[in-house]
C-alpha cells in the first residue's frame, strides 16, 4: 500500500465506516513509526507496532502525559485548567492514583457483581418487551452509567442526564452527540474546560453540588471517599475532584458501552457464538472477555509528548514531538498475536493493550469494565435463542474512540 492509499488518521471521517485496519496493517509492515502532518496542529508520530507502543508507554520519563493525552494541543493555561490524573506524570500521578485507586481494585469490584447483574437483568427484561430495539440505547448505553451512578451515590434518575453530558464531552467530534463539534465549530469559549465542551460546565456544577451535600451529610459512596483525606492526610483539591469527576463521567461511560456493543455485533455475525458463550465456565468467561476487549480496542490511541531528543527504531524524535500510541493497532499485530484478525474466545495468553500496557496509567476502571461486559453477556446469552440485526449499524465519528453508536436488533427470547 502506498502512502497515498492510507486512510487519513488525522481525520475523524476516516473512521465513520469502522477502524481502517488495512492502513494500520500496512503501517506496521511498511512504516511502523510514521510522521503525520496536521492541518490544525504541529503533526505527530504514529506508533503502530505492539512492542514499540509498549516500550514508549513504559518510558514515562522520556514520553510524558503531562502535555495532554489526546491529539489536541493545549497551551499552559488550558493544560493546567483541564488536568486530570491522565495528564500527569509520576510522582504527581502516583499521588492521585493512590487517592482514587482505593475503590477500583478487583476485590472491591467483585462486591459490585450483584448490583451489576440487577441492572443488566432489568435492562434486558425491559428490552424484551420490544420486538426490535437498539441494543445501544436500551442496554449498553444505560448500563455503565447506572452502575457508576450507584458507586458515586447519585440517584438512578440522574443517570440519563450524566450519560448525555458524558457523551457531549467525549464524543465531541460527532454531531449525533453534540452541537459543538470541535473540528467544525468555534469552541474557543470553552477552551479551559475538559474536551472544550460546554457540557463540562454542567458536569462541574453537578460535582460541586454533590461535594457540597457530602460535606454537610457524609455518605458511604465514592464521592465521599474522593473528598476524604487518605491515611497520610492527603486529599484531592477542588479542581482535581471536579476534573476527576468529569473524567469518570466520560471515561467510565462510553468505553464499556462500545466494548459490549462490539461483542454483540460479533454474536450477530457469528450465530455459533451464542452456544459457545452459553457453555463457558468461569475460566472460559475470563478468556472470552479479554478477547472481546482486544477485539473492540475502544480507546484507539493515547498520546505522549517527547521531553528530549531521542532515537526510536532509527527515527529521530525531537523534544516536544507528539506520539500517538495506537493501542488498536498493537492489538492486531501478528508479531504478538497469532491470527489477530480472528476472534478466538479461547485465546490464551492474551496480553492485549486495550487498557494501556507497560506504563503507569493502565486503566483504573479495567476491573469494573470487565465485570460489566461479562455480566451483561452472561445474562443476554441465558435469555436469547437467536439474535439478528434489523437495520444497518453506525459508527462513531472519532479517531480517538472506536464505537458502534447504533445497533438495531431483534431477539427471539428463550
Q: Give contact residues for ligand HEM (rule: CB under 6 A).
A: 65, 69, 85-86, 97, 148, 247-248, 251-252, 255-256, 259, 298-299, 302, 327, 354-356, 359, 361, 363-365, 368-369
**Cβ-proximal residues to 173 (8 Å cutoff; 6+ apart), any chain:** 12, 181, 182, 183, 397, 398, 399, 400
Given the complex with ligand HEM, which of 95 and 97 has the nearer CB atom? 97
Report in angstroms how near the CB of residue 392 gets to ligand HEM at its nearest: 24
Cell of 2: 502506498
Cell of 237: 483539591
Given the complex with ligand HEM, which of 364 and 376 has the nearer CB atom? 364
Distance CA 189, CA 201 (A): 12
Nearest residue (beta carbon) to ligand HEM = 365
Given the complex with ligand HEM, which of 45 and 355 has the nearer CB atom? 355
Report in angstroms how near the CB of residue 20 gets to ligand HEM at its nearest: 19
Given the complex with ligand HEM, which of 23 and 354 has the nearer CB atom? 354
Distance CA 201, CA 113 (A): 32
Report in angstroms how near the CB of residue 350 gets to ligand HEM at its nearest: 14
Given the complex with ligand HEM, which of 6 and 295 has the nearer CB atom? 295
Given the complex with ligand HEM, which of 7 and 401 has the nearer CB atom? 401
Report in angstroms how near the CB of residue 81 gets to ligand HEM at its nearest: 18
Cell of 169: 464531552
Q: Which helix (H) or strand (E) holds 290?
A: helix 282-296
Residue 72 CB: number of other CB atoms within 10 A?
19
Distance CA 317, CA 319 (A): 7
**Cβ-proximal residues to 339 (8 Å cutoff; 6+ apart), any chain:** none
Report in angstroms how near the CB of residue 256 gets to ligand HEM at its nearest: 5
Cell of 236: 484531592
Report in angstroms how near the CB of residue 379 gets to ligand HEM at its nearest: 18
Amino acid at each position: 500500500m502506498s502512502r497515498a492509499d492510507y486512510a487519513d488518521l488525522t481525520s475523524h471521517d476516516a473512521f465513520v465506516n469502522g477502524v481502517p485496519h488495512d492502513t494500520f496493517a500496512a503501517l506496521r509492515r511498511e512504516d511502523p513509526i510514521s510522521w503525520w502532518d496536521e492541518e490544525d496542529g504541529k503533526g505527530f508520530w504514529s506508533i503502530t507496532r505492539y512492542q514499540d507502543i509498549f516500550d514508549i508507554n513504559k518510558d514515562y520519563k522520556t514520553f510524558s502525559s503531562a502535555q495532554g493525552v489526546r491529539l489536541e494541543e493545549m497551551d499552559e493555561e488550558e493544560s493546567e485548567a483541564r488536568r486530570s490524573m491522565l495528564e500527569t506524570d509520576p510522582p504527581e500521578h502516583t499521588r492521585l492514583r493512590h487517592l482514587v485507586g482505593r475503590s477500583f481494585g478487583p476485590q472491591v469490584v467483585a462486591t459490585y457483581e450483584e448490583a451489576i447483574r440487577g441492572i443488566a437483568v432489568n435492562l434486558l427484561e425491559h428490552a424484551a418487551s420490544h420486538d426490535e430495539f437498539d441494543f445501544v440505547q436500551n442496554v449498553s448505553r444505560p448500563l455503565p452509567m447506572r452502575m457508576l451512578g450507584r458507586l458515586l451515590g447519585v440517584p438512578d434518575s440522574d443517570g440519563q442526564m450524566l450519560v448525555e453530558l458524558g457523551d457531549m464531552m467525549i464524543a465531541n467530534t460527532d454531531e449525533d452527540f453534540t452541537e459543538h463539534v470541535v473540528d467544525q465549530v468555534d469552541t474557543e469559549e470553552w477552551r479551559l474546560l475538559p474536551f472544550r465542551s460546554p457540557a463540562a460546565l454542567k458536569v462541574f456544577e453537578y460535582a460541586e453540588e454533590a461535594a457540597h451535600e457530602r460535606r454537610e451529610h457524609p455518605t458511604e459512596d465514592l464521592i465521599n471517599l474522593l473528598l476524604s483525606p487518605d491515611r497520610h492526610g492527603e486529599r484531592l483539591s477542588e479542581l482535581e475532584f471536579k476534573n476527576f469527576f468529569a473524567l469518570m463521567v466520560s471515561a467510565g461511560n462510553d468505553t464499556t458501552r462500545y466494548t459490549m456493543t462490539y461483542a454483540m455485533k460479533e454474536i450477530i455475525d457469528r450465530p455459533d457464538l451464542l452456544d459457545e458463550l452459553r457453555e463457558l465456565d468461569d475460566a472460559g468467561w475470563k478468556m472470552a472477555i479479554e478477547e472481546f476487549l482486544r477485539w473492540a480496542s475502544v480507546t484507539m490511541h493515547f498520546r505522549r509528548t517527547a521531553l528530549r531528543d531521542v532515537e526510536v527504531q532509527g527515527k529521530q524524535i525531537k523534544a516536544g514531538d507528539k506520539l500517538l500510541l495506537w493501542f488498536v493497532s498493537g492489538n492486531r499485530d501478528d508479531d504478538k498475536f497469532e491470527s489477530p484478525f480472528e476472534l478466538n474466545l479461547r485465546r490464551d495468553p492474551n496480553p492485549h493493550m486495550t487498557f494501556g500496557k507497560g506504563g503507569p496509567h493502565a486503566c483504573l476502571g479495567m476491573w469494573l469494565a470487565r465485570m460489566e461486559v461479562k455480566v451483561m453477556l452472561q445474562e443476554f446469552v441465558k435469555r436469547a435463542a437467536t439474535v439478528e440485526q434489523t437495520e444497518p449499524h453506525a459508527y462513531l465519528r472519532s479517531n480517538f474512540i472506536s464505537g458502534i453508536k447504533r445497533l438495531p436488533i431483534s431477539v427471539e427470547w428463550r
